[in-house]
A and B are shown apart, each in its own frame.
Chain A
Amino acid sequence: MVSKAASETLAEAGPPPAAADGKYLDSNVSGAAKILVVGPLGVGKTTLIGTVSEIEPLSTEASMTRAGARVDPYAGDSGKKTTTVALDFGRLTIDGDLVLYLFGTPGQQRFLPAWRDLAKGALGALALVDSRDLAASFDALDNLEDLDLPFAVAVNVFPSGPRYDADDIRTALDLLPGTPLVTCDARDRASSIRALIALVRHLIHVATEPS
């Protein structure tokens, strides 16, 4: 790996190199695809997106109708109460004419309505799992299964985290035998790209296997 020392003297750095004149896509780009990066808060979604993205990750607030209306006595009158969820995303131009968007999506069950919109048309999802807290990812995996969105699981390996055996993780997360399980370091570009490759290989497999 090339040293990142240069990028660490960041105080006066201004916009990152890729974003300097990279706001707009190349005019050859003819289509866009998207992949969701899902997982609990702090699992490394934004880090992974930033590592892979050709632009500095952008943040936007999606508004959505509040899913918790049934537990909110004040929401019953109009049914129009909305709340917002912060979403980070980045992009990667592929082969010159296709752009891949990566949307970071918070895992909690209450954000499921925001997912429905985003999941529409998504190729699939990379579910990031924190090796120190597997249970925090249960909601995200439930949502993926509810939405019938094909996914791969990437364990973002934190230095302080325990090293589980892959079989133990599969059992803990109740993964289907065909669901890919990889480890990755979200701070490392090649490692993050490899996790996406594992996902896309799986998507090809799902698309080509007789159902």
Chain B
Amino acid sequence: MAERPEVPRASAIRPYVITRGRTESEGEPLSWESLVMTAEAAFPASLQPEHLAILKHCEGLISVAEVAAHLGQPPSVAQVLLSDLLRWGLIVTRPPIPPAERADVTMLRKVLHGLESCL
């Protein structure tokens, strides 16, 4: 139960400077638990440093929320930048369980079984 040490902020730039004032992603926003990963594409040399920084945290499969935490930026900023990268084909995404499937009993049973096997 020890107190966590303060997480150092990765950037002194106000978040929405990085996104050029954009607070919403174009198209359907990625959810916090959406899984992303870099695609097999070469990065164009013209990428913003912020986009390059984010790509460094997506070398394996990882959630949007984790990318934001590693980046030291709010998820809303990571969402905007990741949406750019997705549109440019530089990352791929595995969507979360869509809300419509909240009542998907098969998936819930799988979660239950998984938790029980943790005991």
Contacts and interface: CB of A to CB of B under 8 A. Distances in A.
Interface of A: 10, 23-27, 29-34, 46-47, 52, 57-63, 84, 89, 91-92, 94-95, 98-101, 103, 117-118, 120-123, 187, 189-190, 193-194, 196-197, 200-201, 203-204, 206-208
B97 interface: yes
B105 A193 contact: no
A29 B66 contact: no
A53 to B, nearest CB: 11
29 contacts: A23-B70, A25-B61, A27-B60, A29-B35, A31-B96, A32-B33, A33-B111, A52-B118, A58-B70, A59-B69, A60-B69, A94-B110, A94-B115, A95-B113, A95-B117, A98-B110, A99-B33, A121-B31, A122-B102, A123-B97, A193-B118, A196-B115, A201-B112, A204-B105, A204-B108, A204-B112, A206-B103, A207-B105, A207-B108
Contact of B114 (A62, A95, A194): A95
A29 B61 contact: yes
B65 interface: yes
Nearest to B57: A23
Contact of A62 (B34, B62, B74, B97): B74
Contact of B110 (A10, A95, A122, A187): A95
